[in-house]
A and B are shown apart, each in its own frame.
Chain A
Amino acid sequence: MNDHDHKLRQLLKDALPPEQAPDLARDLWPQMLRRFDHQPSRVSAWDWAVAAFLAAGCLLVPELLPVLLYHL
């Protein structure tokens, strides 16, 4: 490391000193559990495909709508 590198490193350390023993102050498991609870419900690609197929079917053949509603 030359003098220039040393000077730059010192400038950086003065501005942003190294983290001293960055210990975790609290247990994050409760926060992790909240993250699990807020997991967005995922709709699979297959479900979207079926929904699109049924919507297209109802648009093209409106007579299918009562049949579809009957089976729901």
Chain B
Amino acid sequence: MEPELLERFARGDLEAFEALFRQFQGLVFSWIVRIVRDRGVAEDLTVEAFWRIHKAHARFDPRRGFEPWARRIATNAALDHLRTAKPEATLDPERVPAPPAVSREISPAVCSAFQQLPAKLQVVATLALIEELPYAEIADALGISVPAVKMREFRAVRLLREKLKKMGIES
């Protein structure tokens, strides 16, 4: 990427922001949709993330990459959404899968238990357990260390097991 473009963005140049928006909107969207699992919400959050990026332009260091910075801001926007959204509102009905027959009955319960997790554990569980992304990538996006990611994953798994056990589901 052109360093000059990043420097112009850091100075608040709207044309540079538009160029970066067009270049990275797909990447930011695909990251957010993995976390919130709803394309409509992810589109709104992509705009919200870029709004935050635009407002924070003066804090951007052009010597560092734009992508990791944008991804971290996008993660925070998705986290804020998960904190405020009602659990049932975070599922896109069109995306609810047709699970295998064995798990068809328990999938709603698993979804429910998953969505009751605290937002910061839910994000790590989504990215680590479902999307199977590398710990380092998750840590970078959340701005925490790899051991902290592993700890959150451990806590998420423990909490999920407790919730599923209460629902009579052996995991």
Query: Restricting to B128-149, which residues have a CB under 8 Å from any CB of A?
Result: 129-132
Give the contact stretch, choosing among B57-65, B76-84, B100-108.
B100-108
The total of interchain contacts (Cβ-Cβ below 8 angstroms) comes to 95
| B-side contacts of A29, CB under 8 Å | 18, 21-22, 25
Known: A8-B160, A22-B34, A24-B29. A35 touches B47 (CB 8 A): yes
Known: A11-B103, A23-B30. A16 touches B114 (CB 8 A): yes
A28 interfacial contact with B, CB 8 Å: yes
| A-side contacts of B46, CB under 8 Å | 24, 28
| B-side contacts of A17, CB under 8 Å | 97, 130
A13 interfacial contact with B, CB 8 Å: yes
**Whose C-beta in chain A lies nearest to the C-beta of B106?**
A11
Known: A9-B129, A28-B25. A22 touches B39 (CB 8 A): yes
- Listed in ascending order, the chain A residues whose CB lies under 8 Å from chain B are 4-5, 7-9, 11-19, 21-29, 31-32, 35
**Knowing that A16-B37, A18-B131 are A-B contacts, what are 18 other residue pairs whose CB atoms are under 8 Å apart, sorted by A's residue number?**
A4-B171, A7-B171, A8-B171, A9-B130, A12-B129, A12-B160, A13-B130, A14-B97, A14-B110, A15-B106, A15-B110, A17-B97, A19-B33, A19-B37, A23-B26, A23-B30, A28-B25, A29-B25
